[in-house]
Amino acid sequence: MARRALASAAVALGAALTLTGCLGISKSDAGSDPATTGASSPGTSSPDASSSGTASPAASSPSGPDDAPTPDGWKTVGGPENQLALAVPPTWTPISLTPGDLADRLNQVGIQGADQTAIKQGLATLQDRHAIYALDPKSIIDGYATNVNGLCQTTGGITPDLLKTAVNSGLTRVGATDVTTTDMPMAGQQGVRADYRLRTGAGVLEGRQYEVIGPDRLCVITVTAREGHLPSEADAIASTLRFT
């Protein structure tokens, strides 16, 4: 029971952070150079690049015999301090979760006061978990951007046969509806893909979450969008998962 509860908590956290897509980015920012809007551009490196989800060239991502090929031009997000790495499409923008960078980003897009505080609290949770985060600025609908977050934790001894039960429990815990699960291998391991809908203050969101048990950790990847706008690349993003 404790093992399932730990996995369920990780699933719930990933889904609960769907509102981190509410960055309030205006349409005019969609075509901006990420380097000028407070996010890291491909190839940028810094001392906290791994923990903040800074992008690096896709060619530098960890690889192994069971890895799916990374599409040309995709950006790698994450590294050893995150315990995982993903690749996202070229038009997506990795968001640095370091406090100073995050505050600058929110100020630049005009989010201040209570709105900024709420968003920073959500993203701070991701930072505390050494998570990675990226969004698609060209997908913005009514202030919400399609986004992905990824985080890992110790498995707590969870086994593959208990994973689907934990996934359903975790998503139900945060109010998700229409939950469906299916098996999906990732990074050479058996995983679970869950589709769901979540009614929030930002409207109805559509989520697709991926859970996979690695050698010593459980990793959860959550892609979220406005209902009806889940990106066709969601499975491809999850398939680039690497344990780091």
| β-bridge partners, 134 | 94, 148
Q: pTM of this prediction?
A: 0.72
Helix, strand or coil for residue 226? strand
> What pLDDT was estimated at residue 45?
27
CA distance 78 to 64: 16
The CATH number of residue 211's host domain is 3.40.1000.10
CA distance 98 to 9: 24
CA distance 139 to 232: 12
> What pLDDT was estimated at residue 215?
80
**Cα 97 from chain centre:** 12
CA distance 239 to 233: 10
> What pLDDT was estimated at residue 194?
94
> What pLDDT was estimated at residue 184?
94
> What pLDDT was estimated at residue 68?
65
- Note down the domain range covering 139: 2-243
pLDDT (tens place) for every residue of the chain, 244 residues total: 444 444 444 455 555 555 455 543 333 333 333 322 222 222 222 223 333 344 444 433 333 334 567 899 999 999 998 999 999 999 998 877 776 666 675 565 444 565 556 666 667 777 888 889 888 888 888 778 898 999 998 876 777 778 888 888 888 888 899 999 999 999 999 899 999 999 887 789 999 999 998 888 889 999 999 999 999 999 999 999 999 9
> What pLDDT was estimated at residue 239?
96
- Domain count for the chain, please give it: 1
